[in-house]
Amino acid sequence: MSVTLREITEGDLEQIMHWRMDPDITKYMNTNPKLTLEGQKKWFKGIRENTDVLYRMILVNGEPAGVINLTGLNNPEGNLGWAYYVGEKRLRSIQTALSLEMSMYDFCFDVLKKKAVYGDIFTLNKGVIQLHKLCGCEVVEEKKHHVCKEGVWYDVTFMRMTAERWNEIRGTKRYEKINFEERL
């Protein structure tokens, strides 16, 4: 299985909109949006103009599969946030998830020279929390009733990987290297 990344194009917006509104995706996100193509175009313009974020389309065997993003590129303290989803269910795999996460650490620490990468996960999403731990991520904090979505409160687990820790454990990890800098 080959995993690559590329810049998002306007032609991707309808697919991204459908993924982002899929209940399988939104059940683990802070919102259940009702998106429109016009709204997607505004979002796309905003992320293209925002130097603090990086969004990439995830491709599996050349086929659009999901979206990964980094936030806080301009953070002077050297901390980033990150998130991703694979919207195409048939293209989901542990191999893809491991490659994405560990290659993202390589990019953030080796190329961007950041100090730490943070993620927040709904605590009920036990599989993703375990995946992050498998990659070497550490739990920083668990907040009870942190996000209210449509009248329901969710606990959130905050996780972190530091450059120092990644440099210590990277040699013990095996994964397909994904290039985050590839352009169209």
> Over the stretch 63-122, which tens digit does the pLDDT of each residue have?
999 999 999 999 999 999 999 999 999 999 999 999 999 999 999 999 999 999 999 999
What is the reported pTM?
0.93
Q: Is the pLDDT of residue 183 over 60?
A: no
Q: Average pLDDT, stretch 148-164?
A: 97
Q: Average pLDDT, stretch 121-141?
A: 97
Is residue 116 in a domain?
yes
- Give me the phi and psi of 52, to 5 degrees please: -90, -5
150 Rama sector, left if φ>0, alpha if ψ -120 to 50, beta otherwise: left
pLDDT at res. 182 = 61
- Domain membership of residue 52 as a residue range: 3-172
CB atoms within 10 A of CB 140: 13
Number of domains in the chain: 1
Is residue 10 in a domain?
yes
Is residue 166 in a domain?
yes
Is residue 44 in a domain?
yes
